[in-house]
Amino acid sequence: MAHSFVSDDRVVDALVDIDLAIGAGEFVSLVGPSGCGKTTLLNMVAGLVTPTEGQVRIGGKVVTEPSRDTAYMLARDALFPWRSALENVMLGLEVRGVPRAERRAVAQEWMQRVHLGGFERARVTELSQGMRQRVAIARTLAGSPRCILMDEPFAALDAQTRLLIQQEFLGLWARSGATVVFVTHDLQEAVALSDRVVLMGSRPGRIAKEVDIDLPRPRNMTEIQADPEWQRVYLELQDALKEETAAMRAEREEATA
Ligand SMILES: Nc1ncnc2c1ncn2[C@@H]1O[C@H](COP(=O)(O)OP(=O)(O)OP(=O)(O)O)[C@@H](O)[C@H]1O
Ligand SMILES: [Mg+2]
């Protein structure tokens, strides 16, 4: 699979030779230097960008448009600020085609699951960043999507809150059985959360390396970095990422020289 963007008579080969199979229920992270095509790849899986070459299939079906079975969660929570927390979760259900009568009850249940019971009527602007991200998680998971796409979902959180929310998200994901494709700049996070980390390189964007993370689940986010296996994989990927970033810089300097 490949993708090129054409703008102002300029062609950007965003992705080439992408051949990636993800198993049902698998948690896969995409990491790589800025501009290597992570978001573009995610948008293709979401049905928002059509590859110029090849295709994306989910469950054997070619993706041509956004599907109800696929949920997309972004870094900034993208909630409706003037609506209540509960209404934001309900909106997610509406998009997924959940009948009106069920929406409130299901949304209320999800508010409990993300530990926001009692904040149903709070407006999003009255919530902390961490609470907003919990609402976004509830909205993402409430429609029971088969596939969850996340683009740096926890990037805006402070370190402590991030750990907590990662842990909570892992628990909810484990119960959902959904497939996750997770984009992050944070290699530590990728190794801690995933079954597999896909390292991408740039110019043009491609897959540089894939590493299976053989750490048992359930995982403890505050302790996992002490695990020798976590450290081994992290260092291996860190070296590879440094190479990709250095290669990208060198090319950029050549291009501007
Ligand atoms: N709509 C677009 N039109 C033209 N070029 C685009 C478009 N979207 C992305 N690109 C280009 O495609 C390449 C990949 O962009 P993409 O946003 O997928 O990278 P990324 O890996 O998500 O980067 P970051 O880590 O900074 O979010 C970049 O060179 C970018 O400039
Ligand atoms: Mg991106």
Residue 185's nearest CA partner among 238, 248, 132 is 238
Residue nearest atom 2 of ligand 1, based on CA coordinates: 5
Please give the Cα distance from 108 to 90 (Å, whole number).
9
Strand, coil or helix: 220: coil
Spacing, Cα 140 to ligand 1 middle (Å): 24
Which CATH code for domain 3-69+149-256? 3.40.50.300
Question: Measured from the CA of 41, which atom of ligand 1 is nearest?
Answer: 18
Question: What sign does the CA torsion over 169, 171, 174, 177 have?
Answer: negative
Average pLDDT per 10 consecutive residues for the chain, totaling 257 residues = 88 93 97 94 96 95 94 81 93 86 95 96 93 94 95 92 96 96 97 98 93 97 97 97 90 82
Q: Where are the alpha helices (DSSP H) in 37-119?
A: 38-46, 85-95, 100-113
Q: Whose CA is nearest to atom 12 of ligand 1?
A: 14
Tens of pLDDT, residues 64-103: 999 989 999 977 668 888 899 999 999 889 888 889 889 9
Residue pair 13/204 in contact by the 8 Å Cβ criterion: yes
Q: Which of ligand 1's atoms lies nearest the C-alpha of 32? A: 21
pLDDT at position 77 is 62
Please report the pLDDT score of residue 205 as a whole number. Answer: 94
State the closest ligand 1 atom to the C-alpha of 183, by its place in the atom list counted from 1. 22
Give the ligand at the shortest distance from the Cα of 245: 1
Instruction: Count other Cβ atoms within 10 Å, centred on residue 101.
Output: 7
Per-residue pLDDT at 254: 84
> Rounded to an integer, what distance in angstroms lies between the CA atom of residue 48 and that of residue 41?
10
Whether 133 lines ligand 1, by a CB cut-off of 6 Å, is no
Q: What is the pLDDT of residue 249?
A: 86
Reported in sequence order, the residue ranges of the chain that DSSP labels E, i.e. its strands, are 3-7, 10-15, 27-31, 57-58, 61-62, 70-74, 147-151, 179-183, 196-201, 206-212
Distance 122 CA to ligand 1 centre (A): 36
Q: Is 36 in the pocket of ligand 1 (CB under 6 A)?
A: yes
Taking the C-alpha atoms of residue 147 and residue 26, their distance in angstroms, rounded to an integer, is: 10
Q: How far apart are CA 234 and CA 192, in angstroms?
A: 9
5 lines ligand 1 (CB under 6 A): yes
The answer to whether 78 and 136 are in contact (CB under 8 A) is yes
CATH 3.40.50.300 maps onto the chain at 3-69+149-256
Give the DSSP letter string of 184-214. Answer: -S-HHHHHHH-SEEEEEETTTBEEEEEEE--
Bridge partners of 84? 123
Q: How far apart are CA 240 and CA 242, in angstroms?
A: 5
